[in-house]
Amino acid sequence: MAATGSEKQGATAYYVSTPIYYVNDAPHLGHAYTTVAGDVLTRWHRQRGEKVWYLTGTDEHGQKIMRTAEANNVTPQAWADKLVEEAWKPLWEHLNIANDDFIRTTEKRHTDRVQEFVQDLYDKGEIYKGGYEGPYCVGCEEYKLPGDLIDGEGEFAGQKLCPIHKKPVELLKEENYFFKLSAYGPKLLEFYAANPDFIQPESARNEVVNFVEQGLQDLSISRSTFDWGVPVPWDDKHVIYVWVDALLNYATAVGYGANQEKFDGTFPANVHLIGKDILRFHSVIWPAMLMAQGLPLPGKVVANGWLMVGGEKMSKSNLTGIKPQDLTSHFGVDAYRWYFLRAISYGSDGSFSWEDFSARYTSELANDYGNLASRVAAMVGKYFGGALPQDTAAGNAEQAVRDGLAKAVATADRKIGEELDFQGGILAVFDFVKQVNGYITEQEPWKVAKDTTPEGQARLATILYTAAESLRGVAVLLNAVMPETSQKLWESLGAEESLGALADQRVQDAGAWGVLPAGATVTKGAVLFPRLEEKPA
Ligand code: MSP
């Protein structure tokens, strides 16, 4: 079998994708959650000095988009254009998402290649014509198995509902083209067994393995009752099923069938980040489609849990009115990027609460981290005229801080860079921040400052150097999560001038000691985390 994403060679990019989001509405906190996670992961790898490719985009075909456009009296294309330009792209820019490309499934670079891919499968005998009848959920754009459905209550009493959207399914009967998915069950199981990390977390992996073990049905890959999609090349009365069209974005965006060099240097993805709602598409259908073409399989499919509101998956219909921008205007973009990854263990469900965000902001960001940065800069200013002194009198207490930084670097690099345990990685850095705060409290530099003997001044210098050099490490470690804050801190430490751009500091080397040179100009920069205003009404 061809190399998988986890076995890609050195010259190739570390390729991470988000789902491509439906453009039936504007983005909400749940979409931003996955996209921020991908941004942190890719910034982390960039800061390791790796070549990285971070892809996001929009899924624009299918009945769901078509119906929304119809309800708004515009064409689906006009609807998608408007949403992409006015809602999706601006939000990613606002949240400082450093994606390398943005693919839209209505672009010709995508649709042409989708047709070629499907034609190829047809020519290989992987696709046949057949009939299908079954319950369909337009919200999911998926045929459901009768056993998946739940009984409706209240206004939906007597009807069968989609368990995710809690809306009635529609009975669809169509003559379509089918992909021989059922033939791939044994090969998929073999692949999961040989690549135990392919699906994460463990609970997601178990769910998929159980599902495949029960036997797969062939997949209907065309629709003939509406026309908002990519035409089936050999039969233009059909359009290609929106999920087949959508999954192929991961190949078409990186040059499949168009730019072989780019494709070879990027594909397959090392990590597909997804929500657990779309797990089967990514861990069953997508690998089977690639197997059918003899293409290499992705490294990992990592499913995040759901952001919940009032005990339900946050969705466009139950948003309770909170937009990402409502939170960023109150807490700032960096705190927003930090909060969800810090508060929720990646892979688990989590509830958002304004109170929890405020409490963590104040205690962890403003008090622990922000205050440390401002106290250290103020003391270097007061006692040394803003010139970073040398640490000539280091002892056990300083060694413990140095060891603490080295440990934080190793832990964060493993947890964020490899395990996608964002919470664990962030906590490792904030534990170190706590350690440095404790060190300052114990050393009491403001008392040592009163000792004007050379020994006393050497101790004071050593304490402040130790604290500043620790912050140098913290700025590097938190740059992927909170890039604007890290930049402010970097400048306040005089590091931009003495060490160069923050982005060029290798994260794996951040635990080295003595990097910030004595004499660096430390200034009291802007407050990193201003006191919060009153919660908006
Ligand atoms: N268009 C498909 C994906 C195609 S990928 C080839 C789709 N789009 S979606 O707009 O519904 O977005 C799905 C993704 O958004 C989820 O998989 C998840 O990554 C993210 N989230 C949407 N709501 C979410 C929550 N409430 N919580 C966490 N993530 C959620 O499905």
Name the residue at shortest CA distance from atom 5 of ligand 1: 19
CA pair distance 266, 245, nearest whole angstrom: 20
Counting ligand 1 atoms within 8 A of each CB, the residue from 17, 18, 20, 21 with the most, and so the one to mutate, is 21
What residues does 272 pair with on adjacent strands?
17, 301
Name the residue among 67, 58, 64, 208 with its Cα closest to residue 137. Answer: 64
Q: Of 254 and 310, which is predicted with more confidence?
A: 254
Q: Is the CB of 23 under 6 A from ligand 1?
A: no
End-to-end CA distance of the chain: give it in Å, rounded.
58
Question: In this model, does residue 131 exceed pLDDT 80?
Answer: yes
The pair of structure tokens assigned to 201 is 């977390």
Question: In this model, does residue 526 exceed pLDDT 90?
Answer: no
CA pair distance 521, 497, nearest whole angstrom: 8
Angle between helix 286-293 and helix 108-123 axes, rounded to 10 deg: 60
Ranges 4-18, 104-118, 150-164, 204-218: which has the least confidence: 4-18
Collapse the DSSP code of 200 into the 3-class scheme (helix H, G, I; strand E, B; otherwise coil) and give the result. strand
CA pair distance 170, 155, nearest whole angstrom: 16
Half-sphere exposure of 148 (CA within 13 A, CB side): 17
Give CA torsion, residues 233, 238, 244, 250, to 10 deg.
Answer: 50
| Domains located in the chain, CATH noted | 8-304 (3.40.50.620), 354-509 (1.10.730.10)
Residues 447-469 pLDDT 10s:
999 999 999 999 999 999 999 99
Q: Is the CB of 137 under 6 A from ligand 1?
A: no
Q: Is the CB of 61 under 6 A from ligand 1?
A: no
- Measured from the Cβ of residue 319, the count of other Cβ atoms closer than 10 Å reads 15
The pair of structure tokens assigned to 375 is 């106290």
Average pLDDT score over the chain: 94
CA pair distance 410, 2, nearest whole angstrom: 32
CA pair distance 46, 15, nearest whole angstrom: 11
Band of pLDDT at residue 1, cut at 50, 70 and 90: very low
Model pLDDT, residue 10: 54
CB 272 within 8 A of CB 302: yes
Identity of the residue numbered 137: C
Question: In this model, does residue 511 exceed pLDDT 70?
Answer: yes
Model pLDDT, residue 132: 83
CA pair distance 491, 210, nearest whole angstrom: 53
Sheet with 312-313, strands from edge to edge, namely 312-313, 307-309, 350-351
Name the residue at shortest CA distance from atom 12 of ligand 1: 21
The pair of structure tokens assigned to 39 is 């941004």
Residue range 188-204: average pLDDT? Answer: 97
Counting ligand 1 atoms within 8 A of each CB, the residue from 17, 55, 59 with the most, and so the one to mutate, is 59
What residues does 304 pair with on adjacent strands?
275
Model pLDDT, residue 310: 73
Model pLDDT, residue 146: 80
CA pair distance 350, 334, nearest whole angstrom: 20
Residues 308-339 pLDDT 10s:
877 777 776 665 567 899 999 999 999 999 99
Ranges 2-11, 140-149, 218-227, 325-334: which has the least confidence: 2-11
Instruction: Give the chain's radius of gyration (CA, Å).
Output: 26
- Ligand 1 centroid to 275 CA: how many Å? 6
Residue range 346-366: average pLDDT? Answer: 95
Residues 59-77 pLDDT 10s:
999 999 999 999 999 999 9
> Which ligand 1 atom is the nearest neighbour of the CA of 21?
10
User: Could you give the residue numbers annotated as active site?
Assistant: 28, 31, 137, 140, 162, 165, 313, 316
> What percentage of the chain exceeds 70 in pLDDT?
96
Question: In this model, does residue 259 exceed pLDDT 80?
Answer: yes
Residue reference for tokens 């404790």: 438
